Amino acid sequence: MTSQRLRNSPIPGTRDSYTGVDFNLGFHIRHYRLDLDYRVEPNRLAGTATLDMVNYLPLKQLTLDLGPSLKVGRITATGSGGVHVGLTRWRHARGKLLLTFDTEIPVDSEFTLSVTYAGSPRPVRSPWGTLGWEELENGSLVASQPCGAPSWFPCDDTPDEKARYDILVSADNPYAVICNGELVERRRSGSRTSWHYRTEHAMATYLATVQVGQYTEFDAADFDPRLSGPAPTAPPAPVPVSVFLPAGTAPAARVEFADQVEMLRLFTRLFGPYPFARYKVVVTEDSLEIPLEAQGLSIFGSNHIDGRKEQERLIAHELSHQWFGNSLGLAQWNDIWLNEGFACYAEWLWFEHSAGVPAAESARRHHRMLSRLPEDVLLADPGPKLMFDDRVYKRGALVVHALRCLIDDDDVFFAAIRRYTTANRHTVVEPIDLRTVMTAACAEVGVPVVELTALWNSWLHELPLPPFPEPRSGARSAA
Exposure string for 190-222, b = 16+ CB within 10 A, e = fewer: eeebbbbbbbebbbbbbbbbbbbbebeebebbe
- Is 318 among the catalytic positions? yes
Catalytic residue among 293, 318, 347, 352: 318
Neighbours of 238 (CB within 10 A): 15
Catalytic residue among 206, 345, 393, 420: 393
- Is 215 among the catalytic positions? no
Is position 321 annotated in a ligand binding site?
yes
Three-state DSSP state, 342: helix
Distance of CA 310 to the CA centre of its chain: 24
CA distances from 195 to 154, 184, 186, 300 (A): 20, 8, 5, 22
Element containing residue 429 per DSSP (H, E): strand 427-429
Is position 366 annotated in a ligand binding site?
no
Residues 6+ apart with CB under 8 A from 176: 195, 212, 213, 214, 215, 217, 244
Exposure string for 31-59, b = 16+ CB within 10 A, e = fewer: ebbbbbbbebeebebbbbbbbbbbbbbeb
Residues 6+ apart with CB under 8 A from 157: 19, 21, 65, 147, 149, 150, 205, 206
Residue in 371, 349, 329 with CA at minimum distance from that of residue 468: 371
Enumerate the β-bridge partners of residue 194: 170, 187
Residue in 371, 417, 128 with CA at minimum distance from that of residue 270: 417
Alpha-carbon distance 288 to 143, whole Å? 11
CB 111 within 8 A of CB 53: yes
Strands (E), 319-418: 328-330
Is position 340 annotated in a ligand binding site?
yes
Active site residues: 318, 393
Please report, in range form, the residues annotated as the binding site for Zn(2+). 317, 321, 340
Please report, in range form, the residues annotated as the binding site. 317, 321, 340
